[in-house]
């Protein structure tokens, strides 16, 4: 499978960098709280290939959001580098990175972050409007509205939609630019379990039928199990991983997760 947790020579070394949507190289992020130093992310390595759907699963405070924000270029690392589509994102200027992010990275957060005064259609179109690539999106937009079953919401504003509907609009907005990678931080966190499962199913379908590449972080096993691969995060480190095709049932995932969190062994 196509996640590499540790650095070193492996199956990916011969691939050109720009054929790999995401490469995280030995990334470290520290926060300073008074005298205290918190290493939120510690020397993390990760390679994600096109069409992968990775769930990074870990308890609250394990560093999941910090890692995702680093990958999105929303926060700077103390050490290491991140390549999206072969481009080292931290060598770019702020304005270059903003443009690059808009084009190559689709972001989906727990809070849907839609613009309240815009309709669903305009919220989804916003990244394209900002990028002034206005041509030819109508067909793609209609396809997305249909795929995500939100075509009937086109003219509605977010305050008239349910949480699940708003999140589907937010996913459409993340997809409209055809990004190299979709990053989702607890995308079901504000939803009831039925709507949460629906979002998970949509993400998996996008991966299976459209070869979209997804990295999602979650603390919930019932969300992580929809991914193709689960990577476990503990205390800022990626400590183990498993293909979901190898997991017998939901209980065995919970057992695997709990045993890895309790253990001290680390792959890094
Ligand atoms: P998770 O998403 O897994 O719950 P986070 O990445 O949010 O974890 O946080 C990891 C650690 O970093 C926690 O100890 C948290 O308190 C700390 N942390 C996160 N963001 C900041 C910040 N802006 N300033 C200081 N500490 C932070
Ligand atoms: Mg978080």
* Weakest mean pLDDT among 111-125, 136-150, 238-252: 136-150
What number does the ligand 1 atom closest to the CA of 186 have?
2
Cα distances from 7 to residues 3, 17, 86, 160, in angstroms, run 11, 15, 17, 48
Query: Domains in the chain, please, with CATH?
Result: 3-262 (3.40.50.300)
**What is the pLDDT at residue 197?**
94
Residue 4 pLDDT level (bands cut at 50, 70, 90): low
Task: Output the CA 232–ligand 2 centroid distance in Å.
Answer: 14
As a whole number, mean pLDDT of residues 118-130 equals: 89
> For residue 236, which atom of ligand 1 is closest to its CA?
10
Provide mean pLDDT across the span 204-233: 95
Task: Give how far Cα 205 sits from Cα of 64, 102, 139, 212, 221, Å.
Answer: 23, 23, 20, 9, 18
Which ligand approaches the C-alpha of residue 60 most closely? 1
pLDDT at 268: 40
Q: Are the C-beta atoms of residues 85 and 56 closer than 8 Å to each other?
A: no
Distance 111 CA to ligand 1 centre (A): 17
DSSP per-residue letters across 240-267: EEEEGGG--SHHHHHHHHHHHHH-----
pLDDT at 18 over 90: no
How much is the average pLDDT of 215-240? 97
> Ligand 1 pocket test: which of 27, 30, 31 has the largest number of ligand atoms within 8 Å of its C-beta?
31
| pLDDT > 90? residue 218 | yes
pLDDT of residue 7: 40
Instruction: Give the residue whose CA is nearest to atom 5 of ligand 1.
Output: 63
Mean pLDDT of 161-190: 94
Report the chain's mean pLDDT, rounded to a whole number: 90
Distance of alpha carbon 186 from alpha carbon 178, whole angstroms? 21
Ligand 1 mutation pick, 61, 185, 216, max ligand atoms within 8 A of CB: 61
Residues with CB under 6 A from ligand 1: 31, 33, 38, 40, 58, 60-66
Residue entry with tokens 């503990």: 234
pLDDT above 70 covers a percentage of the chain that reads 90
Q: How many other β-carbons are positioned within 10 Å of the β-carbon of residue 133?
A: 13
- Please name which ligand lies nearest the alpha carbon of 57: 1
Contacts of 160 (CB under 8 A, 6+ apart): none
Dist. CA 186–CA 209, nearest whole Å = 22
Q: How many angstroms is it from 15 CA to the middle of ligand 2? A: 32
266 has a pLDDT exceeding 70: no
The predicted structure's pLDDT at residue 25: 98
If pLDDT is split at 50, 70 and 90, which confidence band does 99 have? very high
> pTM of the prediction?
0.91
pLDDT value of residue 19? 77
Nearest-atom index, ligand 1, CA of 59: 3
Residue 15, pLDDT score: 61
1 has a pLDDT exceeding 50 = no
**Among candidates 165, 215, 223, which has minimal Cα distance to 189?**
223
pLDDT(136) > 80: no
């Amino acid at each position: 499978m196509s996640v590499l947790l540790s650095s070193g020579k492996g199956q990916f070394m011969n691939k050109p960098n720009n054929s790999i949507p995401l490469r995280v190289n030995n990334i470290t992020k520290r926060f300073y709280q008074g005298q205290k130093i918190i290493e939120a992310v510690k020397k993390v390595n990760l390679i994600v290939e096109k069409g992968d759907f990775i769930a990074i699963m870990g308890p609250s405070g394990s560093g999941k959001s910090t890692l995702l924000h680093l990958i999105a270029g929303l926060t700077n690392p103390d050490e290491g580098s991140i390549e999206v589509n072969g481009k080292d994102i931290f060598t770019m200027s702020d304005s270059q990175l903003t443009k690059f992010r808009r084009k190559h990275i689709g972001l989906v957060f727990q809070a849907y972050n839609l613009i309240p005064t815009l309709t669903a259609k305009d919220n989804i179109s916003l990244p394209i409007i900002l990028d002034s690539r206005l041509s030819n999106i109508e067909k793609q937009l209609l396809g997305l509205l249909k795929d995500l079953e939100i075509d009937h919401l086109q003219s509605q504003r977010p305050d008239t939609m349910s949480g699940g509907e708003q999140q589907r609009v937010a996913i459409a907005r993340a997809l409209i630019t055809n990004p190299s990678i979709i990053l989702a931080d607890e995308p079901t966190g504000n939803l009831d379990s039925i709507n949460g499962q629906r979002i998970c199913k949509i993400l998996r379908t996008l991966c299976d039928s459209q070869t979209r590449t997804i990295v999602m972080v979650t603390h919930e096993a019932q969300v992580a199990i929809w991914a193709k691969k689960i990577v476990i995060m503990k205390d800022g480190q990626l400590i183990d991983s498993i293909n979901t095709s190898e997991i017998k049932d939901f209980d065995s995932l919970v057992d695997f997760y709990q045993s890895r969190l309790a253990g001290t062994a680390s792959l890094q």
